[in-house]
Amino acid sequence: MPKRSSKTPVETKPEAASNPKRPKRPADMNMLAFQIVQEATGQAPPPEPKPDDGKNPAAVALGKLGGLKGGKARAKALAPTKRSEIAKKAAKTRWQKGT
């Protein structure tokens, strides 16, 4: 019979802590239940504002815009033979990583 872990489900999910879009949750089940009830009833304190990281919002928006269209624009500009060479090299690298 497999040995059961003594960790609670909240403690075994590291992606919740590393994902910036999710709020941090307490590991104690009672505190977690209290926090969920507070949020559900609208009694929870408002979330703290994110600290200013010193980036220019206009520059961030431009960088994001370029990143969204970059791959498509590059593929459109490449010759079909060059695209094929790049794809073959990528596939070869992917298959080599598996071994």
- Taking only the tens place, the pLDDT of each residue in 23-72 is 677 888 998 899 889 889 988 887 777 776 788 888 888 888 777 788 88
Q: What is the C-alpha separation between 43 and 48, in angstroms, rounded?
A: 15
Domain of residue 93, residue span: 67-97
Q: Does residue 11 lie within any of the structural domains? A: yes
Alpha helix (H) residue ranges in 1-99: 14-18, 29-41, 57-77, 80-97
Q: Is residue 15 situated within a structural domain?
A: yes
pLDDT of residue 84: 93
Q: Are residues 42 and 72 in the same domain?
A: no
Q: Is there a domain that residue 61 lies in?
A: no
Query: Which of 3, 41, 35 has the alpha carbon at shortest distance from 22?
Result: 35
52 within domain boundaries: no
Of residues 42 and 5, more confidently modeled: 42
In a domain, 85, yes or no: yes
Task: Report the domain count for the chain.
Answer: 2
Q: Is residue 54 part of a domain?
A: no
